Structure 1
Amino acid sequence: MASRDPNSPTDAEGYLTGQLLVAMPGMADPRFTRTVICLCAHSPEGAMGLVLNQPLDNLSFDELLGQLGLDPVPPARRIRLTQGGPVEGGRGFVLHTADWETEGSLTVQPGLALTASVEILKAIASGGGPRAGLLALGYAGWGPGQLDNELQQNAWLSVPADEDLLFAEQPDQLWRAAMAKLGIDPSALSGSAGHA
């Protein structure tokens, strides 16, 4: 695959790695209603992304560290936890600024990385690690061509990712903020496609 041009919203082959997917109001799958997803990989083999705006209400960062047997408790730093998607809900992924990486970190786009090792949680808990990040449990996945078909059916809009959207302090406002970045008023959108 060709390397991604950081100045282009899509790479040379039309893939959206590093972009945010914003669910349209008529999203048919209730698991993705009003979601914003960071697309971490998109290629002919399929796509993988993390839902950014479905906070985990039943688990805190401190509790997660305790379950993993990590110290210090209480941690020196915390990060936001989110339900990353319906696939492999027990698996954790940290989406973070690329100022901290370890072996096995994946570069999503310049300045943004994805790490699935416990080392990053240890670093964050001890006061180090990346400047900004969030932990997602599970992910959203698409098979070959599946996401491309959903995009053609107008199920999603794409918007360039920036730190304000990626690491939003108020995830409940993220969907509207992503729409606003596109210059779209969600109340003006119809929940279903029409024909003239």
Structure 2
Amino acid sequence: MSTTANRPGAGNSVNLSQQLLLAMPGKVSGNLANTVIYVCEHTEHGALGLVINRPTDLTVGALLKRIDLDLSLEIGPVQDLPVYFGGPVQTDRGFVLHAPVGGYSSSIQLGDVALTTSRDVLQDVAQGKGPAQLLVTLGYAGWGAGQLESEMSQNAWLNVDATNDILFSTPSENLYEVALAQLGIDPLMLAGDAGHA
């Protein structure tokens, strides 16, 4: 497994799709401060990612009931999983990051996981036959053309390879530290006011 901390600059474009972005203390503010974001798509037109370390008070079971899906008795512990704040854009829209990849009507394959925005994946979850691993968010984080590259060049984000273990098995409160550890960085080493030599 390779881990990278890329710093794209002018003329050096790095595709951050399927990477985790870690907000640098003091560099990223507002809704995205202290976040870990899974980058679903990064092209010359911009980027789309999901915040994966901000659980809300809403559970998957409560969300399914809210959208009028009857829960099967087979759903088990999935109903108690949190729904995450995926980002400040379209917070009324659901996004399901899941593995293994399924054949849902609006799935985008992202390596060995998929992103689905259609109701059919939630119908399967409610019936106890949904994906074995999933993460549900409301909203997403988005960047316009060149915006993420600019933020990366200003050291606002670190990036590291995403793994299914990090995405689906690591408790949200430990995600930042676990992802940093892949880079060999202790969170205490990060200072929001670090300068440049």
- TM category (shorter chain) comes to 0.7 to 0.9
Structure 2 residues without counterparts, runs of 5 or longer: 7-11
Deviations 1:126-176 (A, max 9, x none): 111211011000000000000000000000011100012111341011111
TM-score by length of 1: 0.88
SS in 2 for 1:107: strand
Q: Is the Cα–Cα contact under 8 Å of residues 62 and 74 in structure 1 kept in the other structure?
A: no
Verify: 1:101 aligned to 2:103, yes or no. yes
TM-score by length of 2: 0.87
Distance 1:8 1:179, change over 3 A: closer
Which amino acid in 2 is paired with 1:45?
Answer: H
Structure 1 residues without counterparts, runs of 5 or longer: 1-5
Deviations 1:26-72 (A, max 9, x none): 23313122210000010010000000000011x22222111111012
Of the structure 1 ranges 121-130 and 146-155, higher mean CA displacement relative to structure 2 is found in 121-130
Verify: 1:29 aligned to 2:61, yes or no. no
Q: CA deviation at 1:97?
A: 1.0
Equivalent positions of 1:163-174 (< 5 A) are: 163-174=164-175
* Pick aligned residue for 2:84 from 77, 82, 87: 82
Distance 1:55 1:172, change over 3 A: same
SS in 1 for 2:56: coil
Distance 1:165 1:8, change over 3 A: closer
- The match for 1:43 is 43
C-alpha distance in 2 between matches for 1:154 and 1:43: 19
- The match for 1:120 is 121
- More helix by percentage: 2
- The match for 2:9 is none
Distance 1:186 1:169, change over 3 A: closer
- State the number of aligned residues: 188
Distance 1:75 1:68, change over 3 A: farther
Deviations 1:105-126 (A, max 9, x none): 0012x21110001111111121
C-alpha distance in 2 between matches for 1:36 and 1:144: 21
Q: Is the Cα–Cα contact under 8 Å of residues 80 and 133 in structure 1 kept in the other structure?
A: no
CA RMSD of aligned residues (A): 2.2
Equivalent positions of 1:32-71 (< 5 A) are: 32-57=32-57, 59-71=58-70
Q: Is the Cα–Cα contact under 8 Å of residues 101 and 113 in structure 1 kept in the other structure?
A: no
- The match for 1:3 is none
SS in 1 for 2:55: coil
Of the structure 1 ranges 67-76 and 79-88, higher mean CA displacement relative to structure 2 is found in 67-76
